[in-house]
Structure 1
Amino acid sequence: MSELRFDGKVAIITGAGRGVGRTHAIELAKRGARIVVVDPGVALDGSGASAAPAEEVVNEIKALGGEAVASFEKVNDVAGAARMVELALDSFGGLDILINNAGTSVPELFDIQTLDQFRMLNEVHYLGTVYVTKAAWPHLCKARNARLVNTISEGPLGIHERGTGYGGAKAGVIGLTLTLAAEAKYHGVGVNGFAPRIATRLSAPDVLAHVYDRPAALFEKNMAMFPPELSSPAALYLAHESCKLNGVLLAAGGGLVLRMSIMENAGYKTDDISVESIAANIDQILDMSSATQFGIGATPFLPEPVKA
């Protein structure tokens, strides 16, 4: 099969100094894209700052013969979001790809998680995605075959405890992704979600030990089984102009790629609805054996743009 190249494309990748964002940046650059590496180098709780993560990735890309510039802006700063987009325009003359990847995590039980932590997680994951996308959107709409990839998560599905803050924020990103994809017919911008299954500092053994109340040693093998390199290709595919998917959520890790979706079944209908009739027919209401795609997922391909 032929290599999917990104020659001439300009990409902004947030949270690109470490983890899967770093892999996105390096692999896109290897395939010809010019990269704005965004990373303020903060700790998981949002404290501190360091230019090192972004600069190291830029230097690595340049050593490979690619083009990249570093941005140290925070995604949860409206002015900072605008500046990272301006940097792309000033440095490379346009913008074709945005991968919203920046994120953080403070896993804790709901009754222990503080309101400040809930607020911070939403500001980074949800509002950060909104701010950067809002700044980039006019330029993506002007570009030909632009692509937006939002980093989502399986966390909102309730797969583990201590995830209400993170999962709630990521659920907002899923909703934003699907509803923005519904507007793609006006602009021709493919909008999709990418849920990485990777071992990074957000899922380090000590973090998972806290989440699951198990010894950290039990999770050490995850670092080898779920490297970013076995997840990132799914995001790069969604970012390629040949990908005509729209409103699709892909999860990837450990060499596995799968689709996440929202489904609905036929349900139960009666002219005499009551609490009792619902109780009597709850099995039919819950039966998903014949469920179908719901919403934008039912038409998962990019339509031809039309005038608003």
Structure 2
Amino acid sequence: MVGRNLTILVEFILLGFSDLHKHQGILFGIFLIMYISILLGNGLIILITKIDSSLQTPMYFFLGNLSFLEICYTSVTLPRIMMSLWTKKINISFLNCALQLCLLLTLGGTECLLLAAMAYDRYVAICKPLYYSVIMNYKVCIQLVIGSWISTMLVVIGQTCQIFSLPFCGSNKLNHLFCDILPLLKLTCGETSINELFVYVVAVLFVMAPFLLIIWSYANIITTILNLPVGMGRSKAFSTCSSHLIVVVLFFGSATITYLRPKSAYAPGIDKVLSLFYTIVTPMFNPLIYGLRNKDVIAALRKILCK
């Protein structure tokens, strides 16, 4: 029993797609294409927002930071998934698992807060246009981004230490694509109700609270837009906000179902699919959603290509 626990403390087995032996080559190819598209698409958004003077506004400042965050978020999980598919090695050390969980939660929580900051930016721009340059000045934008990173990091480090200080017993097989909270708690023994409560509290703070702020912002935005005279910039305002709303629905929808549903409803297969949405699908579609639906981004891209 001592040897068994020692093995569990040394490494975990990430089952991932190990049951799909015949399709692992195809999956590797699909994930490789997706990862390259994520790097290129989000990298292009960062480049455009940095070098084009017409995009030096708070909205595009947040968009550039979101794209950087998406690249980091995907890079924490997807390269390791691809490596497992290619080499058939599905073990991950105890320390690397803790590091992956810490980075994943930090980046995920930061993205939730950043999406809320972007919604607040649109609220000020549409509902309080005369005060926009005063409220959303460069200093405030920097503070919102740094505050999102630091506040999430402090909470997540404590949560990660708490989870990995629990005793692990039984199987060391994680039926998931990467190290995540709920699959890890399934492997712990003893009383974990306090830890599960802490998971829900953190999820409410970093998922539900930003989501409610976004809903409040867009409720005010829609009311303001509908009160505008016909033709007074309604379509442009709706177009700008709809891109952000699509990303919010994709990201928050999958994250909410994953972390806030009852423990009795936990299903590894569903969790794997949902995890692909908020770690891969959303980062891949962000450049398309914001780029193809945004005339300013398209114009800036044409300008760069012409040069």
- Please give the TM-score of this superposition, normalised by the length of structure 2: 0.27
Structure with the higher fraction of residues in strand conformation: 1
Structure with the higher fraction of residues in helix conformation: 2
Relative contact order, higher structure (CA 8 A, sep 6+): 2
